[in-house]
Amino acid sequence: MEEVSMRVAVRIRPLCRGEILEDEEVCVQIVDGQHQVKVNTPEEVINFDHAFGPNLTQKDVFDTCVHPLVPRFIEGCNTTVFTYGQTGSGKTYTMGTLGIIPRAIDDIFNLLNEKKGIKYSLATYYIEIYNEELRDLLEKKNDMNIILRDDKWGNTECAVNTKKDLLHFLEEGSTRRRVGNTLLRKRSSRSHTIFTIFLRQQRGHSQKTKDGIVKGEEIISKFTFIDLAGHERMGRSENKMRFNESININKSLSTLAQVISSLAIPNTDKAHIPFRNSKLTRILKDSLEGNAKTVMIVCINPASTLDTLTSLKYANQARDIKPKTMVNHVNEQYKQELRDRKKAVKQHLQERKHVSTSLQRSLPDKLQTIFFKLF
Ligand SMILES: Nc1ncnc2c1ncn2[C@@H]1O[C@H](COP(=O)(O)OP(=O)(O)OP(=O)(O)O)[C@@H](O)[C@H]1O
Ligand SMILES: [Mg+2]
Task: State the pLDDT at residue 59.
Answer: 97
Could you tell which of 13, 20, 83, 242 is best to mutate to test the pocket of ligand 1, judged by most ligand atoms within 8 Å of the CB? 13
Shortest-distance Cα residue to atom 31 of ligand 1:
93
Which residues have C-beta within 8 Å of that of residue 163, sequence separation ≥ 6? 105, 106, 109
CB 169 within 8 A of CB 158: yes
Residue ranges of the domains in the chain?
Answer: 6-318, 333-373
Question: What is the distance in A from the centroid of ligand 1 to the CA of 111?
Answer: 30
Give 18-77 as a DSSP string: HHHHTTPPP-EEEETTTTEEEETTTTEEEE-SEEE-TT--HHHHIIIIITTHHHHHHHT-
85 is in an annotated binding site: yes
Shortest-distance Cα residue to atom 8 of ligand 1:
90
CB 88 near ligand 1, within 6 Å: yes
CB 294 within 8 A of CB 318: no
Q: How far apart are CA 82 and CA 278, in angstroms?
A: 17
Q: CATH top-level class for 6-318?
A: alpha beta
Question: What is the distance in A from the centroid of ligand 2 to the CA of 102?
Answer: 16
Nearest ligand to the CA atom of 60: 1
Strands 79-85 and 217-227: parallel
Task: State the pLDDT at residue 217.
Answer: 77
Question: What is the distance in A from the centroid of ligand 1 to the CA of 30?
Answer: 19
Q: How far apart are CA 114 and CA 109, in angstroms?
A: 9
Q: How far apart are CA 159 and CA 166, in angstroms?
A: 9
Radius of gyration of the chain (CA): 23
88 is in an annotated binding site: yes
Q: How far apart are CA 259 and CA 241, in angstroms?
A: 27
Question: What is the distance in A from the centroid of ligand 2 to the CA of 127?
Answer: 15
96 is in an annotated binding site: no
Task: State the pLDDT at residue 236.
Answer: 54
Question: What is the distance in A from the centroid of ligand 2 to the CA of 227?
Answer: 7
Nearest to 286 by CA among 231, 213, 226, 218: 226
Q: What is the pLDDT along the chain (375 residues), one digit of tens a residue?
A: 445 688 999 999 999 998 999 988 899 999 977 789 999 888 889 999 999 999 999 999 999 999 999 999 999 999 999 999 998 999 999 999 999 999 999 999 999 999 877 889 999 989 999 988 888 888 876 555 665 554 444 456 788 989 999 999 999 999 999 887 776 667 888 899 999 999 998 877 766 666 666 667 788 899 999 999 987 766 655 678 888 888 888 888 989 988 888 888 877 787 788 999 999 998 888 888 877 899 999 999 999 888 898 899 888 888 877 777 777 776 555 556 556 655 655 565 555 444 333 333 333 333 333 323 332
Give ion ligand 2 contacts, CB < 5 A: 91-92, 189
290 is in an annotated binding site: no
294 is in an annotated binding site: no
CB 309 near ligand 1, within 6 Å: no
92 is in an annotated binding site: yes
Question: What is the distance in A from the centroid of ligand 2 to the CA of 131?
Answer: 15
Could you tell which of 59, 87, 92, 193 is best to mutate to test the pocket of ligand 1, judged by most ligand atoms within 8 Å of the CB? 92
CB 16 near ligand 1, within 6 Å: yes
